[in-house]
C-alpha cells in the first residue's frame, strides 16, 4: 500500500477545488486550485480561471469560511482569475504569498495569458502581499518554495512577457509550489516537474506530489524520462490539470499513481 495511514487518516485535509476533470456534482474547468486545512489554518493555493467555478465548487464542498493565506503558484490566468470571487466576497483574511513576476503581462504567442487587470490591481493596491523569491514558511510543516532551481533538463513551450516595457521571453521565475506536511502541491511545474520534486526534497520529506505536471506536447524521450523517474520514487503521485492526456495515461500505469479531480479530498 503506497499511501500511508497517516495520509489516509490524518487531521489535515487537501480539497481539490479546480481541475480539468471533476467528479459527479462538481464543475471542471482548465485550471487548478486546492484548499489546504492544517492545524487551524486555511490556505488557498491558486484559484482557477473563472470565479463562478470556484464559487460553485466551494458551495458544493459546503465551504463558507475565508482563507488565512492565499498562495499563487504563478501569474497565469487559469490559476489567478478565480480570485475575483474570493476578493468580491472578502474571503482573504491574511497574506497573499506570490512572486513579483506573477504580476507581469504574460503571453502565449499573441494571446494574453496573465492575470486579469482587476485581480492584479486589487492585489497590488489592497492585499497584504508577501512577495518572495526564497522559501517561505507558513509554519514548521508548511512551506512555499520560492523560485525553483532548474538543475535537470526539461521541455517547456515558449512564453513571453512585458518586462521593463519590452516584450521578452518569460523565464517564469514566478513558478512556485507548496509543501504541506510532506505533500507537495504544484500549480503547473513550469520549472520542470523533476526540478520541482528534487527541489522539494531539499525542503522537506516528500510523501506525495499532486497538481499540474505540464507534460502535454513534450517529446516521447522526455515523457519516458519523467515516467521512469516517478516509477523509481517511493511516494504517490496525483497528476492533474496541465499534465496532458498522453502523459496521464502513461503515469496511470505506475503503482504509485492516484487519480485526481475536483471533489477529491486527501487526508494527511
What's the rounded mean pLDDT across residues 101-127? 98
Beta strands in the chain (DSSP E): 13-18, 33-38, 41-45, 67-71, 92-98, 105-108, 111-112, 129-131, 136-139, 142-144, 160-163, 166-169, 177-180, 183-186, 208-212, 236-240, 265-267
Q: pLDDT band for position 84 (50/70/90)?
A: very high
Q: What percent of the chain has pLDDT over 70?
A: 96
The H-assigned helical ranges of 177-266 are 193-203, 220-231, 245-251
Measured CA to CA, the distance from residue 157 to residue 216 in angstroms comes to 10
What pLDDT is attached to residue 107? 98
Q: List domains and CATH numbers for the chain.
A: 12-267 (3.60.15.10)
Within 10 Å of residue 95's Cβ, how many Cβ atoms?
17
Residue 2 has pLDDT above 80, yes or no: no
194: cell is 523533476
Residue 97 has pLDDT above 90, yes or no: yes
What pLDDT is attached to residue 92? 98
Q: pLDDT band for position 99 (50/70/90)?
A: very high
Contact 86, 92 (CB under 8 A): yes
pLDDT, tens only, 22-56: 999 999 999 999 999 999 999 999 999 999 999 99
Residue 129 has pLDDT above 70, yes or no: yes
pLDDT, tens only, 48-79: 999 999 999 999 999 999 999 999 999 999 99
Residue 6 has pLDDT above 60, yes or no: no
What pLDDT is attached to residue 10? 60
pLDDT, tens only, 161-200: 999 999 999 999 999 999 999 999 999 999 999 999 999 9
CA 188 and chain centroid, separation:
6
Query: DSSP label at 149?
Result: P
Contact 266, 25 (CB under 8 A): no
Give me the chain's average pLDDT, please: 95
| pTM score, whole prediction | 0.95
Within 10 Å of residue 149's Cβ, how many Cβ atoms?
12
What's the rounded mean pLDDT across residues 242-258? 98
What's the rounded mean pLDDT across residues 103-132? 98
Residue 3 has pLDDT above 50, yes or no: no
Cross-strand bridge partners of residue 16: 34
pLDDT, tens only, 211-230: 999 999 999 999 999 999 99
Q: pLDDT band for position 11 (50/70/90)?
A: confident
Residue 1 has pLDDT above 50, yes or no: no
Residue 87 has pLDDT above 70, yes or no: yes
Measured CA to CA, the distance from residue 64 to residue 42 in angstroms comes to 12
What pLDDT is attached to residue 268? 86
Q: pLDDT band for position 100 (50/70/90)?
A: very high
Amino acid at each position: 500500500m503506497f499511501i500511508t495511514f497517516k495520509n489516509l487518516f490524518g487531521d489535515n485535509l487537501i480539497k481539490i477545488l479546480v481541475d480539468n476533470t471533476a467528479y459527479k456534482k462538481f464543475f471542471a474547468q482548465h485550471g487548478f486550485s486546492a484548499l489546504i486545512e492544517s492545524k487551524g489554518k486555511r490556505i488557498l493555493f491558486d484559484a482557477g480561471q473563472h470565479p463562478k467555478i470556484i464559487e460553485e465548487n466551494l458551495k458544493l464542498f459546503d465551504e463558507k469560511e475565508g482563507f488565512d493565506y492565499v498562495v499563487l503558484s504563478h501569474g497565469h490566468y487559469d490559476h489567478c482569475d478565480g480570485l475575483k470571487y474570493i476578493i468580491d466576497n472578502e474571503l482573504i483574511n491574511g497574506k497573499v504569498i506570490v512572486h513579483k513576476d506573477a504580476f507581469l503581462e504574460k503571453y502565449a504567442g499573441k494571446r494574453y495569458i496573465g492575470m486579469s487587470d482587476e485581480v492584479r490591481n486589487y492585489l497590488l493596491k489592497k492585499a497584504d502581499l508577501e512577495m518572495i523569491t526564497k522559501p517561505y514558511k507558513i509554519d514548521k510543516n508548511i512551506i512555499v518554495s520560492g523560485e525553483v532551481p532548474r538543475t535537470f533538463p526539461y521541455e517547456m513551450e515558449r512564453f513571453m512577457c512585458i518586462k521593463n516595457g519590452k516584450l521578452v521571453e518569460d523565464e517564469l521565475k514566478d513558478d512556485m509550489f507548496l509543501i504541506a506536511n510532506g505533500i507537495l502541491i504544484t500549480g503547473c511545474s513550469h520549472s520542470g516537474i523533476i526540478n520541482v520534486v528534487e527541489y522539494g526534497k531539499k525542503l522537506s520529506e516528500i510523501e506525495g506530489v499532486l497538481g499540474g505536471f505540464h507534460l502535454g506536447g513534450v517529446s516521447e524521450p522526455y515523457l519516458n524520462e519523467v515516467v521512469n523517474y516517478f516509477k523509481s520514487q517511493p511516494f504517490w503521485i496525483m497528476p492533474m490539470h496541465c499534465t496532458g492526456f498522453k502523459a496521464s495515461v502513461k503515469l496511470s500505469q505506475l503503482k504509485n499513481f492516484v487519480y485526481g479531480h475536483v471533489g477529491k479530498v486527501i487526508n494527511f
